[in-house]
């Protein structure tokens, strides 16, 4: 056993403090009597009551979860297939496809948002000539999220498989597995941690995206990040702190449950 150097340990604690103190402050201030986060004026739980009475927050939370869940599902399936394709086939097209996949990750959000807004406008103009039209809303936001999520999932899945070569599938085929069987029994189980990680990443990205969502949503479809960000003009109220506290709580519980489920069982 090597002992951790005390300086290194102290440094680690500092890093963790830097990461988690702001979250702690937010949680503490969700119980502050004052409407303003400038001074502590007393303990109260009233902001949680205020939060429960806000229909706009409820609606925004619903929209956020709808988009996050469905876009994660779609992008995980498409992104996994893309990642597998990139891993499996070697061709000149692959390099180009790789570059195309990285683009949505490196393009600034605001460019992507405006780009999609213009794209939808162009599609709408075309449809209007055919006598049909649509309003931006759930579907346009969903499509926008899937657009940037696919890249993350595909790259995560590919990097998970990068240690294995094509001999993996060949061996499975030699042992009598059909193409389907080798996919379901060999490749996918190996890629699975990458698929899960990609899905979690995609879900998180969707949950807290503001810029792209703002530009691609229509009227009556605000998500939580849009609702919260547009509050900066007059100041974020403590009921939003309360909401954030609840979201953090749910996340922590989910992580603990996932850890408990994934822990390898001791052999009896």
Q: List residues near another protein by CB under 8 A.
A: 34-39, 41, 56, 66, 114, 117-118, 120-121, 124, 132-140, 214-222, 226-227, 229-237
**Minimal distance in Å, beta carbon 77 to another protein?**
18
The closest of 46, 57, 28, 72 to 207, measured between CA atoms, is 72
Element (H, E) at 79: helix 55-88
Residue number with CB closer to another protein (160 or 239): 239
In terms of CB distance, is 41 or 251 closer to another protein? Answer: 41
CB of 41 to another protein, least distance (A): 8
Distances from the Cα of 10 to the Cα of 15, 21, 23, angstroms:
9, 16, 20
CA distance 70 to 72: 5
Q: Which of 233/266 has CB closer to another protein?
A: 233
Q: Residue 81 or 115: which CB sits closer to another protein?
A: 115
42: left (phi over 0), alpha (psi -120 to 50) or beta: left
**What's the Cα-to-Cα distance from 203 to each of 176, 177, 199, rounded to whole Å?**
38, 34, 6
Q: Which two tokens stand for residue 113?
A: 């948002």
Q: Which is nearer to another protein, 56 or 174 (CB)?
A: 56
- Smallest separation (angstroms) from another protein to the CB of 263: 36
Most distant CA atoms of the chain, gap in Å:
74
Provide the minimum distance between the beta carbon of 23 and another protein in the complex, in angstroms, as a whole number: 19
3-state secondary structure of 74: helix
- Cβ proximity to another protein, 34 vs 98, nearer residue: 34
Least distance between another protein and beta carbon 141 (Å)? 10
Give least dist CB 145 to another protein, A: 15
Q: How far is the CB of 104 from another protein (least distance, A)?
A: 19
Listed in sequence order, the residues at least 6 apart from 45 whose beta carbon sits closer than 8 Å to its beta carbon are 31
Instruction: Specify the residue for token string 């290194």.
Output: 8
206, 67 contact by CB (below 8 A): yes
Residue closer to another protein (CB basis): 67 or 207: 67
């Amino acid at each position: 056993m090597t002992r951790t150097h005390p300086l290194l340990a102290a440094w680690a604690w500092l890093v963790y403090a830097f990461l988690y103190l702001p979250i702690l402050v937010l949680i503490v201030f969700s119980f502050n009597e004052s409407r303003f986060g400038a001074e502590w004026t007393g303990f109260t739980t009233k902001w949680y009551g205020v939060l429960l009475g806000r229909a706009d927050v409820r609606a925004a939370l619903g929209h956020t979860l709808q988009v996050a869940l469905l876009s994660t599902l779609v992008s995980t399936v498409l992104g996994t297939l893309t990642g597998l394709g990139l891993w499996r086939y070697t061709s000149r097209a692959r390099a180009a496809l790789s570059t195309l996949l990285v683009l949505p990750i490196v393009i600034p959000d605001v460019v992507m948002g405006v780009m999609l807004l213009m794209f939808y406008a162009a599609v709408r103009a075309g449809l209007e000539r055919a006598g049909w039209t649509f309003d931006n809303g759930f579907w346009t936001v969903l499509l926008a999220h899937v657009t940037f999520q696919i890249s993350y999932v595909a790259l995560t899945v590919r990097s998970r498989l990068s240690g294995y070569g094509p001999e993996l599938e060949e061996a499975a085929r030699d042992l009598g597995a059909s193409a389907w069987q080798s996919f379901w029994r060999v490749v996918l189980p190996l890629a699975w941690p990458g698929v899960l990680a990609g899905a979690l990443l995609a879900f998180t990205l969707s949950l807290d995206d503001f810029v792209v969502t703002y530009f691609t949503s229509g009227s009556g479809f605000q998500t939580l990040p849009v609702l919260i960000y547009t509050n900066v003009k007059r100041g974020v109220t403590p009921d939003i702190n309360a909401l954030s506290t609840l979201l953090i709580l749910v996340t922590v519980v989910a992580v603990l449950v996932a850890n408990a489920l994934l822990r390898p069982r001791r052999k009896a």
